[in-house]
Amino acid sequence: MKLWYTIFIFIFYFILNAKAQTPVVLWHGMGDDCCNPKSMGGITELIQAHLPGVFVHSVKLGDSINDDRNAGFFGIINDQVDSVCQQLANIPELANGFNAVGFSQGGLFMRAYVERCNLPPVRHLITFGSPHGGVSDIPNCIDIHDFKCTLMRTMVKRGVYTSYVQHHVVQAQYYKSSTDLQDYLDRNIFLPQINNQVEEKFKNNTYRDHLGNLETFVMIKFTEDTMIKPPESAWFWTLDKDNQIWPLEQQKLYQEDWLGLQFLEHNGRLKFLECPGLHMQISDEFFIKEVIQPYLADGARKHFVNQQL
């Protein structure tokens, strides 16, 4: 009798999971695209293999794969976030909310989605190696033959805070100069705003409220990251005026809770993890154990099954 009851519970779980599993949205990083079988495609298959029936959407900007890849280098991030807000709002499967996983700069942009739109709402936000605190150097090109990346770096070096570069090069819009913080605050068109590093009268409390509504915000740093500088930017750490690492808890952004990060941490909902290896080297084992099982699998049903067995 016990055996048949156990089998029934497992069947019931998988049917329920297939029908009601929280959807997942992915946002790829620089030089990648929505549907690359070696990156986002592989991640999608891994999630679906462990969460049968789950709906997975990979963010795509533009009408083609080439458009999507180009958007990772050129354009205005604010416009791209607005476009994704509309894109996700028009997907029926996401209407009741979803879990979000952002990779590299895609994690930063997904956070911007949460702060500015969050409709449909994000439940768990997981970011891998994302430059939340900005970068002190423009990310290198993984592929030295990638013309788009080479062009991007050349443009940025000629004037990262000029209006032209700020309105054309994506990576310039989260560049944070440690030697000229005032230029960063005055002329960077994206990161100071999304981090609420603006005058008090211009701070947006909606950003704090939206992030504070997350069930969990998981920030993952790569232990040997040489792409994002400093790599601790993945945890909102940044460089101070003396070019020294400035931990999150020592910054006003945290102390005065401009984004709700202190609130999340005090409630056990802000997580700082490390992934072994170089930038975007994520093993299947790590993704399953540290992302799928604790955050993408619906915990209530998982707990129900464990209690019954």
Quote the percentage of the chain above a pLDDT of 70: 89
Burial readout 151-162 (b: 16 or more C-beta within 10 A, e: otherwise): ebbebbeeebbe
pTM of the model: 0.88
Residue 309 confidence class, pLDDT cut points 50, 70, 90: very low
- Residues tagged active-site: 104, 225, 279
Residue 3, pLDDT > 60, answer: no
d(CA 134, CA 160): 13
Residue 42, pLDDT > 60, answer: yes
Q: Residue 47: which of 302, 284, 300 has the closest Cα?
A: 284
Cross-strand pairs, 128: 103, 220
Q: Tell me, what's the pLDDT at 154?
A: 80
Q: Mean pLDDT over residues 247-252, rounded?
A: 96
Task: Report the 10 Å Cβ neighbour count for 258.
Answer: 22
C-alpha distances in Å from residue 298, one per residue of 14, 23, 72, 295: 12, 10, 31, 7
Residue 306, pLDDT > 50, answer: no
Residue 212 confidence class, pLDDT cut points 50, 70, 90: very high
Q: Round the average pLDDT of the chain to a whole number and report it.
A: 90
Q: Tell me, what's the pLDDT at 146?
A: 76
Q: Tell me, what's the pLDDT at 308?
A: 37
Domain ranges of the chain: 2-308
C-alpha distances in Å from residue 143, one per residue of 16, 148, 253: 43, 10, 35
In the chain, the amino acid numbered 1 is: M
d(CA 78, CA 144): 28
Residue 141 confidence class, pLDDT cut points 50, 70, 90: low
d(CA 145, CA 235): 31
Chain-centroid distance, C-alpha 273: 14
Q: Residue 73: which of 151, 134, 130, 163 has the closest Cα?
A: 151
Strands of the chain, DSSP E: 24-27, 56-58, 98-103, 122-128, 216-222, 238-239, 245-246, 270-275
Q: Tell me, what's the pLDDT at 117?
A: 96
Give me the numbers of helices (H) and strands (E) for the chain, helices first please: 14, 8
d(CA 25, CA 44): 9
Q: Tell me, what's the pLDDT at 155?
A: 79
Residue 71 confidence class, pLDDT cut points 50, 70, 90: very high
C-alpha distances in Å from residue 199, one per residue of 3, 158, 173: 64, 28, 19
Q: Tell me, what's the pLDDT at 179?
A: 83
pLDDT in tens, 119-129: 999 999 999 99
Q: What is the 3-state secondary structure (H, E, C) of 257-275?
A: CCCCHHHHHHCCCEEEEEE
Q: Mean pLDDT over residues 289-306, rounded?
A: 73
The CATH fold of domain 2-308:
Rossmann fold (3.40.50)
d(CA 92, CA 163): 38
Q: Residue 276: which of 234, 222, 198 has the closest Cα?
A: 222
Q: Tell me, what's the pLDDT at 301?
A: 42
Averaging pLDDT over each range in 1-15, 18-32, 56-70, which range is the top one? 56-70
d(CA 295, CA 265): 16
In the chain, the amino acid numbered 206 is: T
